[in-house]
Structure 1
Amino acid sequence: MAFSKHPLDSGWEFRQKDDDSANSWLPARRIPSEVHLDLLANGKIPDPFLDLNELSVRWIADKDWVYRTQFAQPKKPAASEPTVTDLVFEGLDTFATVSLNGTEILKSDNMFLSHRVEVSKLLQDQNFLEITFDSARMRGLQLVEEHSHEHTFYVRQTEVSRIPVRKAQYHWGWDWGPILTTAGPWRPIYLEQYTVRVADVWAQINVNSDLKSCSGLLFAKVDGGYTASRKATLSIALDGETVFEKTCDVDENGLAQTEFNLSQPKLWYPHGYGTQTRYALMATVSSYDKKSKLIGFRRTELIQEKDDYGKSFYFRINGIDVFAGGSCWIPADSFVSQISGQRYHDWMKLMIEGNQIMARVWGGGIYEAESMIDACDELGILVWHDFQFACGSYPTYPSYLESIEQEAREAVRRYRMHPSLLIWAGSNEDYQVQERYQLDYNYEDKDPQSWLRSSFPARYTYEYLLPKIVKEEDPFALYHATSPWGDGKPTADPTVGDIHQWNIWHGAMNRYQECSELGGRFVSEFGMEAYPHLETIRNAITSPRQQHPGSMAMDFRNKAIDHERRMATYVTENFLVKYDLASYTHLTQVVQAETMHMAYKTWRRDWGREGSRKCGGVLVWQLNDCWPTMSWAVVDYHLVKKPAYYAISRALEPVAVGISTPYRDWTSGHADPRGLTTFEKFDLWIASSKVHPVNLDLTVRIISIRTGEDVQQPMRHYAITALPNSTTEVLRHHAVASSEKEASKIHQPYNITQDEPIIIHAVIKAEGKVLASDTCWPQPLKYLDFSDRGVTFKSTSPTQLTISVSRPVKGFVIEETRATKLSDNGFDIIPGEDRVINVEGGGIDDLKYTYVGSPESSVHVKLSA
């Protein structure tokens, strides 16, 4: 009998368990689903994403829920061979009891596990399937009480009941997301019939250091009776052509394996460094079943070597050092069952369009859908995946450890053939909890059993159990104990491992102008909040009376601790503030974009050169939102990009130019504000991710903000060579000079008074084509006069807009919508250098814009005659 699959995705109904009234059963949506979505579809609750509705649906988390369906037994095969029928649950959220025709067949307490139950002897002509979901919150509280004598459940973010529950932790709410604690069949349910089934196929691959060959082992796991055959054929093919094939025996445990060796393999590279070649790995068992996976060959290394700055932390792929510029990723929805494969692909494609090549899957969400990881494979995005622990002190009692071992093995097995999955990390910020509550931690103690007896027993999970599982299931995978982490040193130590740099926004609330002093060996989190575009705000907050900064609905929607206090500080430190919604939205967006601009360009500068990699990567917190809100996301829930997204994209251009000046304080009690609007000296560098040298022409202009005129002749440097995969320092402590001749000598600063504020603007070209530019503005921007900028527009086609200015413009932002797609946004505009953007999904005349100092907060584009 050939393998067959029968989805059980329709005909479901559900009810609240303690409601036994006659009309309590309601039709459910197609499975997968979650109870909030089903209640919403039946008109029983308001949309939790709108207004204050989240508060009116929190009761759902404290109730038990029942789902049920009926289905006919699949047609029995005519073949004489014995067949097996399995009932498969890819994900049940979370405390689930399953019965089939009145017989209990499964109990589950882990959202992240899938389940396969043989039901061949239980099936009837008509079958009744029922699943009861207990309240995860109430069960969590019970578990805390049951185990309080052996463990102290410390927690950051919302309540302690989440810690002992193996469920997406953000369902309890986070500082960017609502409290929507779900229940239900969140991943598909189906029947499978077979005589023989290929349960899995995988490989253990080692690419040689010379990259000219790869070798290893191929495996297949086979289930069933194998009455006709105990052999499996394992093969590797590229573009339909078989490059390796062998038929081998299946042993008594259902395992088939063979060695393989390939010469001159085509390798998989991250985007921008080579092709994303994928081979087809297949296991076939006669005519019964076959399973194939797309795999990639690549050699991966995490380079941690002692150097002048401490100990390095960066990735080397196929012998190439790779600067990991990208984003942290949270679940793209509070209700993950409604994230389609296409939506995942759109998100990942957006990363590549923004020059981002690493996504860090954060440890308080889910083990992400394979459709997301598939998209990363296809597009060349490196994946850092946390195991699902975040911001807490997790227990280690035996049943809990058993559950997380099953969870971790299943996760590693699911993703081990994906070339994009670069590294696993044990948790998110749990060692910061250890530090905060002064829990036991002696790095020199290497006895895992003693860790279990300490007040921080989760060390056993992160430093013993999880790395052991990763090694056993995927021997060539990279593992990092947690994030942030560095050889047992304090988690804020910038000389080793990765850091979460939250002294911008949180902590000391450093000014974003101080970014160059706040880097580390790998910055795996940092961020700045901003509002989304106006359409998103107005659709989520429906009352016009609430659509203003500081309203009840606006404050409620922002979940960050001290959000308005911190946001207002960063806005008022840097800008003259208007408090209408459009103006304030724009200013928060410019603050966020400026933070991204300064952080990514200065920390990328620290990429340095081979053998001297001071910073190995930068990942913003965060790329995305799980609902429409204001947060650290650089793209909102609806995939509408904030200006910060474009700032990151420009800073991560394959070849980029950067300018910086020394930080000068203007907020301390006796700071002298005179001279803050001009410069005496600056640095200029070129960052390149190209693996070959690039010949460039550089032009540096010093421009009056008041008049828009160059205050000295532009400096021109021809035939500069940007070193491969390095930072090339072009100018250091370069004086702003009064003439081109003096500029070349780097001395005698140009005597520009406070009344003549300037910008420094640099452009790099290759073969006459502009590759990148950067503009350095005096800080803070609020001390500058932005009146009368002379902005004009013209268009040579319905999809192209050209913007010109007479005087320098800061933070030009077009209001984006879900329908509008722009090639660039949130940019500065320099006299003599028109800005050309492509517009899709709307007319140019429909666009609204503003900029720093604009007399109007939102005005329509008007084309010149």
Structure 2
Amino acid sequence: MGGSSMASIPFTSQALTSGWTFTQGDGSVDITAQSLNANDLPTEIHLDLLKNGKIADPFNDLNELSVRWVGDETWTYRKTFPTPSEKGKPGVRIVLACGGLDTFASVYLNGTLILESENMFLAHRIDITTKLLGESKTPIDRDEENVLQIVFQSARKRGLELLKDHPEHRFIVHQTELSRGPVRKAQYHWGWDWGPILMTAGPWKKVVLETYVTRIEDVWVEYELSNDLKKAKGKIFAKIEGEESKVRFKMRKSSEGHAAVDLDGKVENGVSVATFDLDVDLWWPRGYGSQSLYVISATLISDDGAVLDSTTKTVGFRKVALVQEKDTIGTSFYFRINDIDIFAGGSCWIPADSFLSRVTPERYFDWMKLAADGNQIMIRVWGGGIYEHDAFYEAADELGLLVWQDFMFACANYPAYSSYLKSVEEEARQNVRRIRNHPSVVLWCGNNEDYQIVERYSLEYRYEEDKNPESWLKTNFPARYIYEYLLPKIVLEEAVGVPYHPSSPFGDGISTTLKVDPKVGDVHQWNVWHGEMKPYQQLPEMGGRFVSEFGMEAYPHLETLGKSIAREEDRYPGSMAMDFRNKAIGHERRLVSYVAENFKIKYDLAGYTHLSQVMQADAMSWAYKSWRRQWGTSGNRECGGVLVWQLNDCWPTMSWAIIDYYLVPKPSYYAIKRAMKPIVVGVTRKFKNWTMRPADELWNRDTSHIDMKEVWEDIEFDVWVGSSSMSKSEGNVAVRFVSVRSGEDVYPSLSVPVHIEANGTTEVIKGQKVGLPGARDENTPLDMSKIDPFVIQSSLSIDGEVVARDVSWPDPIKYLNFPDRGVEVNLSSTSAIVSAKRPVKGFVFQERQGVSLDDNGFDLMPGEKKTVVVAGQSAHDLKWDFVGM
């Protein structure tokens, strides 16, 4: 135990936030006269240059090109600070804590090199007790202060040097230039097919000066739940740095009115441990129960009872399993939380900004709140970004969102030389430890799509024959050592009870082939948009056991485009500024092809934006409702979840995002929201491909020799109900057949009582056929004016109240005519009530930043009124569009 000196020296920290300057160069010359004032930390070089008027905003017009030089330069940040008054007292340590340095950073204190870092994802602690100037100056006498300089070299140039330094490795990098392969930096900074090339540098996390004799380094919990999930038995750990002393723990439920439980820790080898065996309330995913959280406080006490340090950690108690069991299809892949099977519908997440230091905790919460309000239940943190800010996981905990967490590897054949492995291990341990007690984190995944690199380039991967991790390091795929040995070992040691998955996508590790198998593991389905560019109406047949990526592009709303494209003459589809902003390869052909394939094309910006949005929303509807249908029932889980690529954008652009950079949702967001309601009804007709048909076996290729009458004739449709409720229920499904032309019912409606399965799918109507009014016989010329295509609408009622609706339109929409729809919009300050006399496709309110709607991008059927709640502006200011308007 420590003596009286400890009682007078509690742990203190001072964030070195303000007073920083920066300059171009390595600081080897006197920079005082040349330096510019930086932003308060955290910050990044582009933001500081922008603040000082040295560059134009990289997010506007073509300005990204004009700032490329920034990433090739060396930059030095400088600050002075006085020596803490505690220096020289017995046992006192003074530590410089750097939360994150981006990326190749040399740190100097009073001219002495104290740290060299090559990993953006690492935090650093440097004991500077003996490197500070003598006694601290008084507040009046500060002529001589410590000088702290951080020199950031070009990550791109250093990456190119590392390529030359390691000729033994076969560097393969997709999406960007090769220099990112050996560099431990957020990979999307090199540019991606949705984001700009902005090679940042700088102190992107806090720099803090700490003074203490002893401190609490970390607090964490390991536990097991009883079989009935009502009790938690486990240990609280507090790792102590410095002299050992007593730790007192308290645990209380985070909600008010709950008493704390006192626990005394026993110190062993620098770790204080307290055991507990308590009744607990579980943390549940949203929609399945409450998000019960517990606050654990640890207080470090000296011999004389003085508080030396204290910290808190919020935890939740839950049981998680990734269920991969053999079944009649192959091997399942779904999540089970607290012994309940969970259909994980949600999104993939990329960093919320190209400049990470300006993403506030409030903005993180707003993002997570949008996902939760959109009935999403899982967010996948993609491996080309960052291990996210604490605020991200805290919001997920509070809102009940499950987090699939990738390690930061994406689309490359990464090296595994010794210094790289050492850095990766420290990176992984630090971040797993930081995140491990968030109940929202239910999976760690080794990488994003790196095994697809293995497959495409025939790298060495002998699963059955070679089980020796050391031998993997000698192959041309040495990163197998990282994904199948190092990372799972770290997760097992540091994050007890959380599953690990080697890669996304990845099968069950049994077969010797790495080809994506819809019967095993998770899949990335990119044969819509990329690959074969199949019609999105085929997505229901293109799924797998878990669809962890798929997507469709769309434009953001007009206000977002207007903010980033200054000149009115550039605001049209296909302008240089517009095409430059869309980073997706082939987007000029792909997006317009999907729009033109399905809709009567419009080339004005407002019209094209609307059509792209409706098209994206249609794709989401086809995917989510159909793959949710494949959730099936207990023991027969064909599809365990679906995560769209992607939830968000890192800058204002047109992309696969369903919500744009300014947090403005696209209609696709609402399509997912409707498809992921707790209880849904779905209706779909059998898809008939109007764009191609296989020719005879001799030619074996697709042609356009299609009998157009078959597109709309001989309709076959299904109706089903999906439920995430844990209870069975009774309901009634009604089905209408409504003429697109007249709005009249063309056939009598159907009414079917339904016994709704708990937490599963209930098939209501399957393979029912219905003809088309006005259809011709085989030998009669096709007269479109006599054909009366119709919309099929299904609605589900429980206890006499309609709880869900869905519609199925005759595809393609472009073949339909939409004369006067009889649309009426009645506005008040807080709502819009919309109705129509004839079926309306894709009714979209134009949204803007700061405005909130509870629904958008919906279809209208005659005889119904749709009420949309509006916040953030008066509904009287709304503008709208719909197909055929």
Q: Is the 8 A contact 1:113 1:406 kept in 2?
A: yes
Which position in structure 2 is the counterpart of 1:96?
A: 105
Which position in structure 1 is the counterpart of 2:780?
A: none
Q: Is the 8 A contact 2:554 2:654 kept in 1?
A: yes
Which position in structure 2 is the counterpart of 1:729?
A: 763
Question: Within the alignment, does 1:403 sit opposite 2:419 as a pair?
Answer: no
Deviation at 1:597, TM superposition (A): 0.3
Deviations 1:789-824 (A, max 9, x none): 1111223x3111111101000011111011321111
Matched to 1:702, the amino acid is F
Deviation at 1:491, TM superposition (A): 4.1
Out of 333, 338, 343, the position equivalent to 1:323 is 343
Q: Which deviates more, 785-794 or 21-30?
A: 21-30
Deviation at 1:666, TM superposition (A): 0.7
Deviation at 1:82, TM superposition (A): 2.9
Q: Is the 8 A contact 2:230 2:281 kept in 1?
A: no
Distance 2:607 2:518 in 1: 37
Deviation at 1:442, TM superposition (A): 1.2
Q: Is the 8 A contact 1:408 1:466 kept in 2?
A: yes
Out of 606, 611, 617, the position equivalent to 2:641 is 617
Distance 1:738 1:328 in 2: 41
Out of 122, 127, 136, the position equivalent to 2:146 is 127
Question: Within the alignment, does 1:852 sit opposite 2:872 as a pair?
Answer: no
Distance 1:519 1:57 in 2: 41
Deviation at 1:73, TM superposition (A): 2.4
Deviation at 1:602, TM superposition (A): 0.3
Which position in structure 1 is the counterpart of 2:49?
A: 39
Deviation at 1:475, TM superposition (A): 2.2
Distance 2:201 2:749 in 1: 64
Question: Within the alignment, does 1:672 sit opposite 2:707 as a pair?
Answer: yes
Distance 1:248 1:47 in 2: 53
Deviation at 1:692, TM superposition (A): 0.9
Out of 393, 399, 407, the position equivalent to 1:373 is 393
- Please give the secondary structure, in 1, of the residue aligned with 2:747: coil
Matched to 2:291, the amino acid is Q
Which position in structure 2 is the counterpart of 1:835?
A: 866
Q: Is the 8 A contact 1:674 1:754 kept in 2?
A: no
Matches within 5 A, 1:141-540: 141-148=160-167, 150-226=168-244, 230-238=245-253, 239=255, 241=258, 244-251=261-268, 253-262=269-278, 264-286=279-301, 287-444=307-464, 445-488=466-509, 489-540=513-564
Deviation at 1:81, TM superposition (A): 5.3
Which position in structure 2 is the counterpart of 1:761?
A: 793
Question: Could you tell me the TM-score, scaled by structure 1's length?
Answer: 0.94
Question: Within the alignment, does 1:56 sit opposite 2:66 as a pair?
Answer: yes
Which position in structure 2 is the counterpart of 1:631?
A: 655
Q: After TM superposition, where is structure 1 displaced by more than 6 Å over at least 4 residues in a row? A: none
- Please give the secondary structure, in 1, of the residue aligned with 2:746: coil
Q: Which deviates more, 674-683 or 264-273?
A: 674-683
Deviation at 1:16, TM superposition (A): 0.6
Matches within 5 A, 1:517-596: 517-596=541-620
Deviation at 1:515, TM superposition (A): 1.2
Which position in structure 2 is the counterpart of 1:788?
A: 820
Out of 679, 682, 691, the position equivalent to 2:726 is 691
Distance 2:173 2:772 in 1: 59
Which consecutive unaligned segments of at least 5 residues does structure 1 have?
Answer: 740-751, 855-865
Matched to 1:301, the amino acid is A
Distance 1:819 1:290 in 2: 39
Deviation at 1:567, TM superposition (A): 0.5
Distance 1:378 1:678 in 2: 50
% identity of equivalent residues: 54
Which position in structure 2 is the counterpart of 1:2?
A: 10
Q: Is the 8 A contact 1:244 1:260 kept in 2?
A: no
Deviations 1:81-132 (A, max 9, x none): 5322211100000011111112211111000000111122222332111000
Deviation at 1:243, TM superposition (A): 6.0
Deviation at 1:245, TM superposition (A): 3.5
Q: Is the 8 A contact 1:692 1:725 kept in 2?
A: yes
Q: Is the 8 A contact 1:35 1:182 kept in 2?
A: yes
Matched to 2:860, the amino acid is I
Q: Is the 8 A contact 1:678 1:758 kept in 2?
A: no
Out of 120, 125, 131, the position equivalent to 1:116 is 125
Q: Is the 8 A contact 1:675 1:754 kept in 2?
A: no
Deviations 1:433-480 (A, max 9, x none): 111111111111211112111111111100000000111112211100
1:5–1:492 CA distance, 2 compared to 1 (3 A): same
Distance 2:591 2:61 in 1: 21
Question: Could you tell me the TM-score, scaled by structure 2's length?
Answer: 0.92
- Please give the secondary structure, in 2, of the residue aligned with 1:484: coil
Distance 1:102 1:707 in 2: 82
Deviation at 1:526, TM superposition (A): 0.2
Q: Which deviates more, 443-452 or 175-184?
A: 443-452
- Please give the secondary structure, in 2, of the residue aligned with 1:344: helix
1:461–1:18 CA distance, 2 compared to 1 (3 A): closer
Matched to 2:92, the amino acid is T
Distance 1:652 1:128 in 2: 56
Distance 1:331 1:820 in 2: 23
Deviations 1:256-297 (A, max 9, x none): 1233222x3210000000010011122221111121111000
Distance 1:769 1:265 in 2: 37
Deviations 1:582-623 (A, max 9, x none): 111111111110000000000000000000000000000000
Q: Is the 8 A contact 2:26 2:151 kept in 1?
A: no
Deviations 1:381-432 (A, max 9, x none): 0000100000000000000000000000001100111000110000000001
Deviation at 1:217, TM superposition (A): 2.2
Q: Is the 8 A contact 1:484 1:491 kept in 2?
A: no
Matches within 5 A, 1:820-831: 820-831=851-862
Distance 1:754 1:411 in 2: 65
Which position in structure 2 is the counterpart of 1:657?
A: 681
Out of 746, 751, 763, the position equivalent to 1:711 is 746
Question: Within the alignment, does 1:643 sit opposite 2:678 as a pair?
Answer: no
1:781–1:222 CA distance, 2 compared to 1 (3 A): same
Which position in structure 2 is the counterpart of 1:65?
A: 75
Deviation at 1:766, TM superposition (A): 2.2
- Please give the secondary structure, in 1, of the residue aligned with 2:867: strand
Deviation at 1:23, TM superposition (A): 4.5
Deviation at 1:545, TM superposition (A): 1.1
Deviations 1:616-659 (A, max 9, x none): 00000000000000000000000000000000000001000111
- Please give the secondary structure, in 1, of the residue aligned with 2:380: strand
Q: Is the 8 A contact 2:648 2:660 kept in 1?
A: yes
Distance 1:360 1:395 in 2: 25
Distance 2:833 2:235 in 1: 57
Distance 2:447 2:37 in 1: 38
Q: Which deviates more, 290-299 or 169-178?
A: 290-299
Matched to 2:626, the amino acid is T
Matched to 2:163, the amino acid is V
Deviation at 1:661, TM superposition (A): 1.4
Q: Is the 8 A contact 1:678 1:778 kept in 2?
A: no
Matched to 1:14, the amino acid is F
Q: Which deviates more, 55-64 or 781-790?
A: 781-790
Distance 2:789 2:265 in 1: 76
- Please give the secondary structure, in 2, of the residue aligned with 1:404: helix
1:492–1:328 CA distance, 2 compared to 1 (3 A): same
Distance 1:116 1:172 in 2: 28
